[in-house]
Amino acid sequence: MTDRLSRRELGLLLRAIDDDDPRAQEMLRQLPSPRDHARVYGFTGMPGAGKSTLVDGVIGELRSLGWTVAVLAVDPTSPFSGGAILGDRVRMVTHAQDDGVFIRSLATRGALGGLTMSTGRCIEALLGAGYDRVLVETVGVGQDEVDVVKAVDVNAVVCVPGLGDSVQAIKAGVLEIADLLVVNKADREGADRLHKELTASLHLGDPPAWGYPDILRTVATEFEGVGKLVSALEAWFDFEGRAHLLEERRRQRFHDRVLTTFEAAVLTEMHRRVDVHGMACSAAPKSSPEEVARQAVEMALCEGLPGVE
């Protein structure tokens, strides 16, 4: 498996990160740097596209190449427990007993973009733990849910025939983040049509300097095309490195995490200073939401910054 953290230690670290335990940051600082050859691959797409089955096949292919693999499966949140509905056990059971595979589910907790606030730090933990490949599978995509591209090195958008006008449903904001497009369940009727629609949608705009994304076909339940998908992921990563795209992508990822962490810290501090929920409940009937919110901000700012006279 990994020579850096035991599975139990890694599980405890991921739990601390997901619970926003203050000790998690110090634990992350003590981890070694990621292995030079480590890579992070993302899988996103409409619900029902078969992403989990596809990721299961990708795990097997990567293991056959000798790589250790960690998976972060971002699930919807249970409205009762606040935890991931699907959890670890019902996913990718083929590899449950493989010491070279680590699988963890995270709850979205309503996070816009399908990724939780803690996903970036969880990826950092898995890389620091020494895994060669980290796979991030997200919940389904919407028009604004494109945050996966900020957390991974290569992003595969998974499509499937038979979900209505699937191209129309995913193309707003999502085709733009695809490094690779995957037509899964390609043995179904409509696969050829979907392939043509994806090609046409890509060609509506000007091509990137490095060309349009490749479109691959898979039948994940039969492991058809999975080997070609893994080869394409690896090849795209290598190309990104040569073209200096990877360096820019990781720099942008760092920038985004700084901003996200800053915004979350400010919001937490503002809520500590002002009972916004109480103000909303006790607001005068004719008050506007904007007026109450502005009053709350002014009250919070009037306290001044910690340590500043």
Residue-level pLDDT at 222: 96
CATH number at residue 197: 3.40.50.300
C-alpha closest to that of 155 among 164, 145, 146, 163: 146
* Residue range 49-78: mean pLDDT, rounded: 88
Tokens of 307: 């340590």
Per the domain annotation, does 61 fall within a domain?
Answer: yes
Q: Which domain holds residue 84?
A: 7-243
Is position 268 within any domain? no
The DSSP-derived string for 252-285 is: HHHHHHHHHHHHHHHHHHHHHH--HHHHHHH--T
Tell me, what DSSP letter sits at residue 103? Answer: E
Q: Is the pLDDT of residue 10 over 70?
A: yes
pLDDT at 279 > cutoff 60: yes
Q: Does residue 287 form part of some domain?
A: no
Residue 279 lies in a domain: no
Domains held by the chain: number: 1
Percent of the chain at pLDDT > 70 equals: 80
In a domain, 295, yes or no: no
How many other CB atoms sit within 10 Å of the CB of residue 152? 26
Q: If you average pLDDT over residues 49-73, what whole number do you get? A: 94
Q: What is the pLDDT of residue 114?
A: 43
Structure tokens at 129: 């733990």
- What are the tens digits of pLDDT across the range 291-301? 999 999 999 99
Asked whether residue 1 is assigned to any structural domain, the reply reads no
Q: How many helices, marked H, and strands, marked E, lie in the chain?
A: 10, 7
Crossing angle of helices 226-242 and 245-273, rounded to 10°: 90
Give the 3-state secondary structure of residue 107.
Answer: strand
pLDDT in tens, 119-165: 888 999 999 999 999 999 987 655 434 666 678 999 999 999 987 65
Q: Does the residue 290 lie in any domain?
A: no
Residue range 193-211, pLDDT digits in tens:
999 989 988 888 777 778 8
Largest Cα–Cα distance of the chain, in whole Å? 69
Integer-rounded Cα radius of gyration of the chain: 21
Say if 63 falls within a structural domain. Answer: yes
Tens digits of per-residue pLDDT, 221-232? 999 999 999 999
How much is the average pLDDT of 179-200? 93
Place of tokens 């095309």: 225
